[in-house]
Amino acid sequence: MHIRREFERALDNDKTKAQKALSMIQQLYAVERKASQQMLDTDKVKELRLTESLPVLNELGKWIFEEIKSTLPKSQIGKAMQYSYNRWDALSAYLYDGNLLIDNNQIENSLRGLALGRKNYLFAGSHDAAQRAAMIYSFFAICKKHNVNPYNWLKNTLLNISTINHKNITDLYPQNFNKVQQLTNM
């Protein structure tokens, strides 16, 4: 994704070269879509990548290696090529492990809320208040991960926390909310 962004920035600088790189990158993402649509297991994803993505990635790498020699290093396209060239091994690592994603967009998106709120956390009131806010964020993140409505979980927890046996406190955890609700509805 970062390489794609660099080549997108270079469209104004050298449209032909940038479009060529972006076209090859799109081919790599097409393979990922294919794996996702076919719901392949990790071994099959790796096999598909080595069969279909590796030749495209090799072509892209060879093209960058040849073009970088005749490209101005300070130009935007030169920076995009140098950025790609310097990170080539790390960029290719996803091919050999079906568990890895082609990019880190999911991770970046999940961290975006923290990054946006970082300055706000400076004004939590006190260190203890900041720790409590962090706990609430953690609980809500767990709710999101386990497809639990945070409002329903919090309401249930506040209604039941005073009456629950301390040995069963884990029943109030967000990750156990749906299981406990199903048992009580039976």
The reported pTM is 0.65
Considering the chain, what is the average pLDDT of its residues? 89
Is pLDDT of 66 > 80? yes
What tens digit of pLDDT does each residue of 164-181 get?
Answer: 888 888 888 888 888 767
Q: How many angstroms separate the CA atoms of 109 and 48, rounded?
A: 27
pLDDT above 90: percentage of residues in the chain: 59
Q: How many angstroms separate the CA atoms of 14 and 72, rounded?
A: 11
Is pLDDT of 185 > 70? no
72: left (phi over 0), alpha (psi -120 to 50) or beta: beta
Mean pLDDT of 62-77: 95
Geometric angle at alpha carbon 40, from 38 and 46, rounded to 5°: 125
- Cβ-count burial 129-139 (b if 16+ within 10 Å, e if not): eeeeeeeeeeb
CA 63 to chain centre: 28
Mean pLDDT of 85-105: 91
What tens digit of pLDDT does each residue of 98-114 get?
Answer: 999 998 887 777 777 77
50: left (phi over 0), alpha (psi -120 to 50) or beta: alpha
* Residue 117 or 142, more confident: 142
